[in-house]
Amino acid sequence: MDPEDLWRPAGAATPPEVAAALLHLASAQPHPVLVVSRPADDVHGRVPREAPRVRWANAAAAELLAVAADALPELALTRLLRPAAGALGDHLRRERHTRFAATATTSSGEARACELVAWPVPAAPALPGAPATPGAPGALGALGAPAEECWVLQGALPGDARADAALRAAEERFATLARSSPVATIVSDVGARLSHVNDAFAALTGRSAAELHGTGWLDCVVEEERAAVVEAVTHVLAGRPVTLDTRLRTATGQVRWVHVRFAPSRTPGYGAGFIATVEDVTDRLAREHRLAYQAQHDLLTGLPNRLALLEHLAGLLPAAEGSRPPGAEHPAPRAGVLMVDLDDFKTVNDGLGPEAGDAVLVEVARRLAATVRAGDLVTRPGGDEFVVVCHDLPDADAVAAAARRVLDTVSAPVEVNGLRLDVVASVGVVLLGGPSGTPDELLRDAGIATHEAKAAGGGRWALLDDEVRRRARRALRLVADLREALARGAVDVHYQPIVRPGPVAEVLSVEALCRWRHPELGPVDPGTFVPLAERAGLVPALDAHVLAVACRDLAGWRAAERSGELPRAPRWVAVNVSAVTLSAEGFADSVRRTAAGAGVQLSDLCLEVTETALASDLRACREVLEELRRDGARVAVDDFGTGYSSLAYLKDLPVDHLKVDRSFVRDLDARPRPRPGAVPGARPGDQRGGPARAVAAAVVSLARTLGLGVVAEGVETPEQDAVLAELGCEAVQGYLYSRPLEPAALLALLRSGGRIERPAAVPAPRTVTA
C-alpha cells in the first residue's frame, strides 16, 4: 500500500472507522513501517530540536530491528537507522517525500541494509475511538498531534519480493554477460571448486562445462604449473587479488600460455570463493619472444648482435672488478675480448656480389661457433666483424692459444659458388681485469688492437698493451685537433715548384700540398695526419680546403703578374683529389664554384688523381673528369706505374700528364747489379738506374706516344736529375730543386724570376710522427 493513503490532505476530516481501518492495514504491511515525530522548537527558537523519535511501528519494523514492538516507541531514530549519505534530519522534509538508503541496527548490533521512503504527515485532528494497537500511544489521534511534526517511514528490505526480483534479475544479467563474454571467465562459490565457467573458457580448453566444474579445471593446468596455481587460489581465498602467468593443456594436447587474474568473492551461505578471467597470451608471448630474439641477434648468421654483446660485457665487468684480491692493484685477467676483422672482405662483395659475401660470413660464423669452448660467446656486431668473448684465460699462453685457434679457424679457404676463396683475418685482443672501463670502451680498444694487426700486414693477432693504447690515444687527439684546425682554416697550404730540369731550373707550375703545424707538437708529417684524416672521414674537407686556398693564392699571383709586380706567375696549380672526394656527388659543381669564387678559370687548375682512386670506380671517375676537362681543367695521373692496370684504363681516361712515381725515381742513380745466372766474367755495364731506368724510359716513351706531358716527382740527387734529362723528361719536382714552400717564400721566388739553381745537398725537415 502507499502510506500517503493513511492520511487525507491537511484539514480534511477522517471518519474514525476509516482511520481504524488504515491503522489496521499499516499494522499488517509486510514492509517495515515507522511513524516518527520531532517536537517543534519553542516560541523563541532557542531550544534545539530533538532527534526524531519513534511514535509507532508495525510488526515488520519490529522484526527488522529485532526489538519488541512495544519497546520501540520513544526510542531515538538515530539509534536505529543510519543514512548512507547525509544526516537523518536532511531526509525528513516537510515539503515532499524522500527516498534514501540506510543501515538498520538490530538490538544485537547486526547491521542490515535497507531503503527508506519518508512521507511528511499533515496536521490532523485526533481520531476518537481508534482501537489500541501494540506500540501505539493509546490512540491513533496521538500520531497526528498538531504540536509535533510526523513522518511515515516505509522500508524495502532484502528478502522482500521486489528486492528478490531485482536480485534475481541482476544475477541473470551477470550470468548472461559472463556466458557470452569473449573473455574466458571462471567462478567459484567456495574454495577451489568451480561453480560456473563461461563458453569462452570451455572453448579455450576444448572441454565441456561439466568436465570443468568442481576441481576438474585443475586437470587442464600443466602438471609442473599446478603448485603455483593452487598457491594463487589459496591467496585469493584469503582475500588477496592475485595475477599469474601459467600454462593450460587443451583437450587436443596443445599447450597455451594464459594470464589469470583472480579476484576474491564471498557468497552468502557458502563462504570464500573467487572470480577469475583467463586471457590466452600464447600468440602475444610468441611475438614478443620473436621481437626480443631479433633485437639481440644478427638475422644473417643467427649470432648475438652488438646489443647482446654489450649486455654480456656489462655483466662481466662488475665480476672482474669484484674479483680483485685485497691489496692488489688489478685482478688477474680472466676473460678476453677477441675482435675478428676479415681482411679485404670488400673485394669479395664487390667482385662476387653480396650473396657471396653473405655466404662467407655465414661460414665464418659457423666455424667460430664450433671452435669456441662451452661458456664462450661468439657475436657479430656488424659488417665483416666478429667478436669472441673467451672466459678463463689465466695467462699469456692461454691468450695466445685462443687467438691462434680463432685465426686458424677463420683463415681456412671457403668455397662459394664453386670458387675456392682464401679468407684472411686480423684479430685484436683486449683482456678484462685491468681498468676496463665501459663495454663500449672495451670494443673500442679491441678495434685499436685489430687495427694494429692489420697495420702489421694482416693475417695475425695483436694484444692491446700500454704502447698501443698510447699511440691510439695520440692518434685520437691528433684527429680531434685536425678537425678543429680545419674548422678554423688553420691547415696551411704549401707549394712545391714543378720545374724544367737543368743547372738553373725554370718554374713551370706548382703543386699545392697541405701542411699542418700543431700548436704544441710542431710540424706534423703528412704521412701521419693524412691517413688519420682518411680514417676519420676528413679527407673531403681537407681536399676542399686545399682547393679553395690554392685558387685564392693563384688569383693573387695572377693579379700581381698583371700589375707588373711579378715577372710571371705559374701556368697552373696542381691539386690532389682523393678517391672519396672525386666520387662524391656534386664534386664537379663544387670545383666550378670554388674557382669562380676565387676569380680563376678551370684551365688554371690541374687535378691530380692517383691510380688507386681511378681503380675504385673507373666509370664514375671518367665521367667527372671528362666533364671538368671539357671546361678547361687539366688532369694528371699521380703515382703512375704503381697500379694494377695502368695501360688498360689510360686509353679511356681524359688525361693531360703522367707523373712518374718517386719509387722509380729513387733508384735511378743506382749502379746495376749482376743478374742471377749471368755468364761469369761478364760486366754489367756502366749505365745507371737499371730496371728503374727502364720503367722511367717506358713511361716517358708512352707519354710521348699518347701526346701527354710527363712529370717526375721525388727528384733528390743530381744523378737522378741527369738520368731523367737523358730520357727526355720535360718537368720534374723534388727536394733537389725545392721543398714545398710557404706562400710568402714562393712569392719571393716568383719575384726573382722563378729560376732555381740546382743545389748539391738536401736537409731533412723536422716532423712529428704518430
Interstrand relation of 709-713 and 731-733 (parallel, antiparallel or unpaired): parallel
pLDDT in tens, 145-182: 444 678 888 876 555 555 556 556 666 666 666 676 78
The secondary structure of 283-310, three-state, reads HHHHHHHHHHHHHHECCCCCCECHHHHH
User: Which residues sit opposite 248 in a β-bridge?
Assistant: 221, 256
Measured CA to CA, the distance from residue 303 to residue 292 in angstroms comes to 14
What is the CB neighbour count within 10 angstroms for residue 269? 6
Walk me through the domains of the chain, giving residue ranges and CATH numbers.
3-158 (3.30.450.20), 164-285 (3.30.450.20), 297-464 (3.30.70.270), 481-674+685-757 (3.20.20.450)
Amino acid 133: pLDDT: 39
Measured CA to CA, the distance from residue 655 to residue 575 in angstroms comes to 15
Judge residue 509's burial from the number of C-beta atoms within 10 Å of its C-beta, 0-12 exposed, 13-18 middle, 19 or more buried.
buried
Judge residue 769's burial from the number of C-beta atoms within 10 Å of its C-beta, 0-12 exposed, 13-18 middle, 19 or more buried.
exposed
Widest CA span in the chain: 170
DSSP string, 311-344: HHHHHHHHHHHHTPPTT-SSPPP-EEEEEEEETT
SS3 255: strand
- In total, the chain counts a number of residues equal to 770
Measured CA to CA, the distance from residue 712 to residue 671 in angstroms comes to 20
C-beta of residue 154 within 8 angstroms of C-beta of residue 117: yes
SS3 511: strand
pLDDT in tens, 320-329: 444 444 444 4
Higher pLDDT, 681 or 542: 542
Dihedral of alpha carbons 83, 86, 92, 93, sign = negative
User: What average pLDDT does range 396-406 have in this prediction?
Assistant: 90
Provide the percentage of residues in the chain whose pLDDT is more than 90: 32
Higher pLDDT, 213 or 26: 213
User: What average pLDDT does range 367-390 have in this prediction?
Assistant: 90
Question: What residue type is 502 in one-letter code?
Answer: G
pLDDT in tens, 557-611: 999 999 999 998 999 999 999 888 888 889 999 999 999 999 999 999 999 988 7
pLDDT in tens, 240-269: 999 999 999 999 999 999 999 999 988 765
Interstrand relation of 605-610 and 634-640 (parallel, antiparallel or unpaired): parallel
Measured CA to CA, the distance from residue 666 to residue 690 in angstroms comes to 12
pLDDT in tens, 50-109: 778 888 888 888 888 888 888 888 888 888 888 887 788 777 876 667 888 888 888 888
Question: Which of the four pLDDT bands, split at 50, 70 and 90, describes residue 481?
Answer: very high
Amino acid 12: pLDDT: 45
Question: Which of the four pLDDT bands, split at 50, 70 and 90, describes residue 3?
Answer: very low
Measured CA to CA, the distance from residue 353 to residue 359 in angstroms comes to 10
pLDDT in tens, 633-643: 999 988 776 66
Is the model's pLDDT at 377 over the cut of 50? yes
Closest CA to 120 of 188, 28, 52, 21: 52
The end-to-end CA distance of the chain, in Å, is 108
Question: Which of the four pLDDT bands, split at 50, 70 and 90, describes residue 497?
Answer: very high
C-beta of residue 534 within 8 angstroms of C-beta of residue 482: no
Question: Which of the four pLDDT bands, split at 50, 70 and 90, describes residue 338?
Answer: very high
* Lowest mean pLDDT segment, chosen from 122-131, 148-157, 712-721, 730-739: 122-131
Distance between alpha carbon 456 and the CA centroid of its chain, in Å? Answer: 36
Dihedral of alpha carbons 637, 638, 639, 644, sign = negative
Opening angle at CA 659, ends 636 and 648, nearest 5: 70
Burial 167-206 (b: 16+ CB within 10 A, else e): eeeeeeeeeeebeeeeebbbbbbbebebebbbebbbebbb
User: Which residues sit opposite 648 in a β-bridge?
Assistant: none
Amino acid 123: pLDDT: 55
Residue 539 neighbours by CB under 8 Å, 6+ apart: 530, 533, 578, 580, 581
Closest CA to 493 of 659, 756, 764, 740: 740
Provide the grid cell at 483.
Answer: 678537425
Residue 220 neighbours by CB under 8 Å, 6+ apart: 205, 207, 212, 248, 249, 250
Question: Which of the four pLDDT bands, split at 50, 70 and 90, describes residue 458?
Answer: confident
Question: What residue type is 365 in one-letter code?
Answer: A
Burial 426-435 (b: 16+ CB within 10 A, else e): bbbbbbbbee
Question: Which of the four pLDDT bands, split at 50, 70 and 90, describes residue 1?
Answer: very low
Measured CA to CA, the distance from residue 760 to residue 360 in angstroms comes to 56
Report which DSSP code applies to 144. G
Closest CA to 186 of 202, 172, 173, 197: 197
Residue 379 neighbours by CB under 8 Å, 6+ apart: 298, 303, 304, 305, 306, 308, 309, 312, 386, 387, 388, 389
User: What average pLDDT does range 441-461 have in this prediction?
Assistant: 87
Measured CA to CA, the distance from residue 208 to residue 197 in angstroms comes to 9
Phi, psi for 523 (deg, rounded to 5): -65, 130
- Cell 691468450 belongs to 399
Question: What residue type is 44 in one-letter code?
Answer: H
Residue 548 neighbours by CB under 8 Å, 6+ apart: 594, 597, 598
Measured CA to CA, the distance from residue 443 to residue 441 in angstroms comes to 5
pLDDT in tens, 673-690: 555 555 454 444 445 667
Dihedral of alpha carbons 369, 373, 377, 380, sign = negative
The secondary structure of 106-120, three-state, reads CCCCCEEEEEEEEEE
pLDDT in tens, 276-320: 999 999 988 888 888 888 888 888 888 999 999 999 988 887 644
- The pTM assigned to this predicted structure is 0.54
User: Which residues sit opposite 273 in a β-bridge?
Assistant: 265
User: Which residues sit opposite 421 in a β-bridge?
Assistant: 414
Phi, psi for 309 (deg, rounded to 5): -60, -45
DSSP string, 599-614: T--GGGEEEEEEHHHH
Amino acid 146: pLDDT: 42
Interstrand relation of 504-518 and 573-577 (parallel, antiparallel or unpaired): parallel
DSSP string, 720-766: HHHHHHHHT--EEESTTT---B-HHHHHHHHHTTSEEE--S--PPPP
SS3 122: coil
Average pLDDT over all residues of the chain: 81
Amino acid 614: pLDDT: 72
